[in-house]
Amino acid sequence: MLLAAPLPAAAQQEAWRPLRGMRAVALDVAMSPDHPGIPMEEVERRLADLVASAGPLLRVDAQAPDALRVLISVRAVSGTELRGFYLPFSGVYGVGPVRLVVERPATLAGQPGPAPAVVWEAERLVAGPWHRAGALVLRLLPDLAAAFLDDYRRAHGQ
C-alpha cells in the first residue's frame, strides 16, 4: 500500500524546477461527474485569460507537448449523507476537489516514446450548496492559477 505523505520542505520549495523551459501549454478541462452549473467553456476561457496574464514568457498553444489541466471532481452530496442521519429540509451540497496539474512528456526506460507525467499540481476543495458549486469552482481558478504562475515565474527567474 502506498500512503500519500506531504512533501519534505526542501521538495516543496523547489516544486518550480520541473517548469523550467516550458514556453507553451495546451489547456484541458475535465469534469467527473458532470455538473450542469459549471460551464466547461467558461472554465477554459478563464484559465486561458489567467495564463495570458503571465506575460510573453508563456502562451497557450493547442499543439504544445506540455499541458495545463483542470480536473474538477465536485459531486452532489445530500445533507443526510454528510451528517450521517436524516433531518427534514436537508439540502444538497457540492463537495470535491479542483486540481490544476501540469503534464510534460517524460522519457521512461524501456518505453518506445515519451509518456505524459504530472510534474506540478495544486488542489483546492469546493464545499458549499450544490446550486453554488459552479460559482465556487470559478472562484477557485484564480487562486490555483496564481500558485502555478508563481512557481512558473520562479522557474524562469522572475
Q: What tens digit of pLDDT does each residue of 78-114 get? A: 988 887 877 777 789 999 999 999 999 888 788 888 8
Q: Which residues of 145-158 are buried (b: 16+ CB within 10 A; e: fewer)?
A: bebbbebbbbbbee
Greater model confidence, 6 or 153: 153
- What's the whole-model pTM score? 0.81
pLDDT at 12: 54
In whole angstroms, give the CA distance from residue 99 to residue 68. Answer: 10
pLDDT of 117 strictly over 70 = yes
Alpha helices in the chain (DSSP H): 9-13, 40-52, 79-83, 133-155
Side-chain half-sphere CA neighbours of 110 within 13 A: 0
pLDDT of 13 strictly over 90 = no
Q: How many CB atoms are located within 10 Å of the residue 137 CB?
A: 26
Q: How many CB atoms are located within 10 Å of the residue 43 CB?
A: 21
In whole angstroms, give the CA distance from residue 95 to residue 15. Answer: 27
- Tell me the pLDDT band of 21, cut-offs 50, 70 and 90: confident
Average pLDDT, the chain: 84
In whole angstroms, give the CA distance from residue 58 to residue 21. Answer: 10
Q: What tens digit of pLDDT does each residue of 134-157 get? A: 899 999 999 999 999 999 888 888
pLDDT at 8: 52
Q: What tens digit of pLDDT does each residue of 22-34 get? A: 888 999 999 887 7
pLDDT at 3: 43
pLDDT at 5: 47
pLDDT of 130 strictly over 60 = yes
Domains of the chain, each with CATH number or no CATH: 23-155 (3.40.50)
Q: What tens digit of pLDDT does each residue of 31-53 get? A: 887 777 778 888 899 999 988 88
